[in-house]
Amino acid sequence: MSAFLDGALRPRLGVTLGAIAFALVEIFALCLVVSPDVVARLEPGVWARNTDDDGAALTHALVTAQRAPARSSHVALVGASSMREAIWHIDSLADTVAQDAGLAQGASTLSAFDLTSGGQALAESLAVLRALPESQRGVVVLGIGPGTLFADRDELQARFEHPISALAVDDMNALARALGMPERVSTGIYFLDHLQFFVSRPQVPVRLAVGALTLRRHRYLGRTPWTEARWAERLDALRLDFARRAQDEALVAAHLAALEETLTRLARDTRWRVILIEPPLAPRARPTLAEARQAAHALIAPLAERMDVPLVDLDAEARLVDEDFHDFTHLRSEDAMRRYEARLAALIAQTLDAARPAGGQP
């Protein structure tokens, strides 16, 4: 037995070279086969590791948006989970926008893309905005507040080094330079540029064989609200965390500069109009988090005014109350989501209508 094991486990040059050659051939084949077109054609659930895989959902939604017909009007929702949970569904948002804007019903007239993801950093949101196709006309809604403007430098660097979505490396590198973060090597080959994304999803062949997962959009629907003990524990911790992150003045300034550059680029080079939204905030959280919220608003508002971009808080119009929230920012009821969605749709329709060319055609 020992002789058998010794022979089985002893390295052999031929076997090693054969394994390396096979791996290289496999990587070469994947470089040829895996492309944004392939990602767009397959269902997002094929790429998903589990039903909550926001990275797969965002990647699929973005490559799909980039391939949408230029003749259509478009709506895109960008931001973290607070924005994802703020509306009932991207399709119902599109239907209400079309109705409010007086557009004919149908996907050929108005299409909408959910480009949100849990924990989405502002840099990731800006990379999404940079990736929007120049030829399309539409409205993009960006959720922005203290949670994204005031970032933890170490956490942000980890997002750059270990991306969970296949965002364009060149766009991310431009933001990395602006924020003083390490850049990634760009090969120009889609599979290699997003190797971490694809290698972390070895289940794709199985999904292709047995069927795609159905991704879960709402993570907080029907969940029990925070207990009083949880509120007492978390609110003050959030206040202190926002205050700590706001002290990184260099990173905050870099975020604002990157935001301004992205908004300028959209206004100059594309037909997209931007709406900045302060994410939902539970009424009972407002007093404790008022300082962070006001500090973020004071920094963003002058930029928004200078760029002629609306910066809005829809909570009051949507009549949000504490019972609508699971925690300080995530909605937990369909009714609350639909109220918020209706107010957001009206704002988008108004913005879309203002951008409509003479003659009223989309």
- Name the percent of the chain lying above pLDDT 90: 78
Query: Quick check: 2 pLDDT over 90?
Result: no
**CA 200, chain centre distance (Å):** 19
* pLDDT for 24: 44
What letter represents residue 50's amino acid?
Answer: N
Nearest residue to 266 (alpha-carbon basis) of 75, 136, 123: 136
State pLDDT tens for residues 89-108: 999 999 999 999 887 654 45
DSSP-based helix, strand, coil % in the chain, nearest 5: 55, 10, 35
User: What b/e readout covers 226-240, taking b as 16+ CB neighbours within 10 angstroms?
Assistant: beeeebeebbeebbe
State pLDDT tens for residues 321-346: 999 999 999 999 999 999 999 999 99
**Distance in angstroms (rounded) separating the CA atoms of residues 337 and 116:** 15
Nearest residue to 27 (alpha-carbon basis) of 209, 195, 160: 195
pTM of the model: 0.90
* 126 close to 262: Cβ distance less than 8 angstroms: yes
- How are beta strands 110-116 and 311-312 bridged, if at all? unpaired
Query: Quick check: 27 pLDDT over 70?
Result: no
Q: Give the bridge partners for 361, in sequence order.
A: none
- In angstroms, what CA-CA distances link 17 with 22, 88, 323? 9, 54, 63
State pLDDT tens for residues 267-310: 999 999 999 999 999 999 999 999 999 999 999 999 999 999 99
What domains does the chain contain, in order, with CATH numbers? 57-183+213-354 (3.40.50.1110)
**Distance in angstroms (rounded) separating the CA atoms of residues 90 and 217:** 10
Nearest residue to 132 (alpha-carbon basis) of 76, 170, 175: 76
